[in-house]
Amino acid sequence: MNNRQRALHPGAWWLWAIGLAAAASRTTNPLALTLIAAVCCLVVASRRSDAPWALAFRMYLGVAVFVVLLRLGYHALLAGNGLTILFELPELCWPGSDLCVLGPVSAEAVLSGIYSGMQLGVMIVCVGAANALANPKRLLSATPGAVYELGSVIVIACAVFPQLAESVQRVSKARQLRSGRTHSRHLLREVFLPVFADALDRSLNLAAAMDGRGYGRRNTSCIPRGDTRTSSEIPEHHPTKFFDTLRGTPEHHPTKFFDTLRGTPEHHPTKFFDTLRGTPERVRDDDAESSAKVSSVLIVVAVLALCVGSYSILDSSAMPGGLGLGLLVGGLLVAGLGFWLAGLRNPHTRYRPDPWRGPESLTAICGIAVAVVFVALDRYGPDGLLHPPVGGLSWPQFSIYLLAGVLVAALPAFCTPAPPSSQEEER
């Protein structure tokens, strides 16, 4: 086992959590659901860092409790219809119709509300656990090449987010310093609009800087197809040359920031973008264009397969059972292939990719194993184990397989490297 503290690959945590959520979706047994939630809490408590996203786990727990209460309230108050009446509430009916609320509250309704509410609540806890454990920034940096643009948009959004707060403070300070009317009635117009305009202006500066550094450029449409000239051979008035002229801009121009990177050592990762300037860009040659065509065809085929597969799940009479599921799986495979092909057109390297080692595989396998156990129990296990009846008001069943199956998911709490503390994470 690796003794060094390091954060696990975020994908591993997500696979683990999806496995647990899939297991929760197979059962309404409150004992099994409680166990799954407890395992989530245990792993989160032992393997989360002290980053802000990790602290939001409490919020997910709150949402889960809220969902259980909502479902309980719905069943008890609006849909109560069972044999064992707990207490009676005055019934309210819409005049002249059968639209009635409240009335008798039955124990069966309460139980059924709790069972099904817990199912949804525990799935939310699983997602919350993934959120708390996986670093969203590292997840973004693992964005596949096909949606590279999408990843950059989200990265920009997350980076601009704190700047907006600063912008709001600056604008309101200016507003207070200004003489004349400062009525709260104009607050929206006097604060929001300047901040908004300021943000858009900044976005154009950011775009110029990004363009100059090669971010967000997929195919260099400025350079004609088949053009293999290097930067120095491109004529003086070629549009790409524009960014070279930025070098001569005044000292405080925003794009200047990136020039400071020039002073970095030769093997600094940001240097990669410098090399883009000098390379002959052959991205847009015929090979790439035909692969683009193939990838779009694959994407359309995948979408069609997924649509038809989903339809067959809803209407099982339309297609024999296995075919629909096969279409879904096949659609996902084709989608993956199209995605991979579309990503090939994207000549961007990854900055310090997260490694995928033994603990990552173990974590992912633990999560998926729980899902497999539950699916198997659902199919071959005793009746009423995963879906206890609410009718008889009996204690739900439990089995050793269920216990073992869920406890497997707790392994990552002990068998993975501990997360680094926040000081070390700043990298």
Within residues 393-422, the interface with another protein by CB under 8 A covers none
Q: How many CB atoms lie under 10 A from the CB of residue 398?
A: 14
Q: Which is nearer to another protein, 89 or 193 (CB)?
A: 193
Which residue from 45, 89, 92, 100 is in contact with another protein, where contact means CB under 8 A? 100
Least distance in angstroms from the C-beta of 3 to another protein: 31
DSSP 36-89: HHHHHHHHHHHH--SSHHHHTHHHHHHHHHHHHHHHHHIIIIIS---SSEEEEE
**Cα distance between residue 41 and residue 136, in whole Å:** 19
- Helix/strand/coil for 411: coil
Which residue from 217, 365, 409, 411 is in contact with another protein, where contact means CB under 8 A? 217
Q: With contact defined as beta carbons under 8 Å apart, do 359 and 417 qualify?
A: yes
DSSP 164-176: HHHHHHHHHHHHH
Q: Which is nearer to another protein, 165 or 174 (CB)?
A: 165
Q: Which is nearer to another protein, 41 or 306 (CB)?
A: 306
197 part of the interface to another protein, by CB under 8 A: yes
215 part of the interface to another protein, by CB under 8 A: yes
Q: 129 is written with which tokens?
A: 């656990």
- Considering Cα of 78, then 83, then 85, then 91, what sign does the dihedral take? positive
Q: With contact defined as beta carbons under 8 Å apart, do 264 and 347 qualify?
A: no
**Cα distance between residue 50 and residue 62, in whole Å:** 19
Which residue from 61, 122, 342, 371 is in contact with another protein, where contact means CB under 8 A? 342
Beta strands 85-93; 100-106: pairing state: antiparallel
Which residue from 31, 160, 191, 294 is in contact with another protein, where contact means CB under 8 A? 160
Q: Rounded to the nearest 5°, which phi and psi values hold at 350?
A: -105, 140
Q: How far from 2 is each of 7, 363, 418, CA to CA, in Å? A: 12, 14, 9
98 part of the interface to another protein, by CB under 8 A: yes
68 part of the interface to another protein, by CB under 8 A: no
Least distance in angstroms from the C-beta of 330 to another protein: 13
Q: Please identify, among the stretches 253-261, 332-340, 395-403, 404-412, the one whose residues bind another protein according to the rule CB under 8 A.
A: 332-340
Q: Which of residues 259-298 bind another protein (CB under 8 A)?
A: 292, 295-296
Q: Which is nearer to another protein, 239 or 358 (CB)?
A: 239
332 part of the interface to another protein, by CB under 8 A: yes
Which residue from 45, 92, 174, 304 is in contact with another protein, where contact means CB under 8 A? 304
Q: Which is nearer to another protein, 178 or 225 (CB)?
A: 225
Residues 6+ apart with CB under 8 A from 258: 209, 212, 213
204 part of the interface to another protein, by CB under 8 A: yes
Q: Which of residues 6-25 bind another protein (CB under 8 A)?
A: 22, 25
Residues 6+ apart with CB under 8 A from 171: 190, 191, 194, 195, 198
Closest Cα to residue 157, out of 198, 195, 201, 203?
Answer: 203
Which residue from 45, 79, 92, 415 is in contact with another protein, where contact means CB under 8 A? 79
Least distance in angstroms from the C-beta of 80 to another protein: 7
- Helix/strand/coil for 253: coil
Q: Rounded to the nearest 5°, which phi and psi values hold at 250?
A: -60, 160
Q: Rounded to the nearest 5°, which phi and psi values hold at 87?
A: -160, 165
Q: Which of residues 107-126 bind another protein (CB under 8 A)?
A: 108-109, 112, 116, 120, 123-124
Least distance in angstroms from the C-beta of 265 to another protein: 26
Least distance in angstroms from the C-beta of 317 to another protein: 7
Q: Which is nearer to another protein, 23 or 362 (CB)?
A: 23
Q: Which is nearer to another protein, 79 or 142 (CB)?
A: 79
Least distance in angstroms from the C-beta of 425 to another protein: 17
Q: Which is nearer to another protein, 22 or 366 (CB)?
A: 22
Q: Which of residues 219-248 bind another protein (CB under 8 A)?
A: 219, 221-222, 224, 226-227, 238-239
With residue 45 as reference, give the H or E element that holds it.
helix 30-47
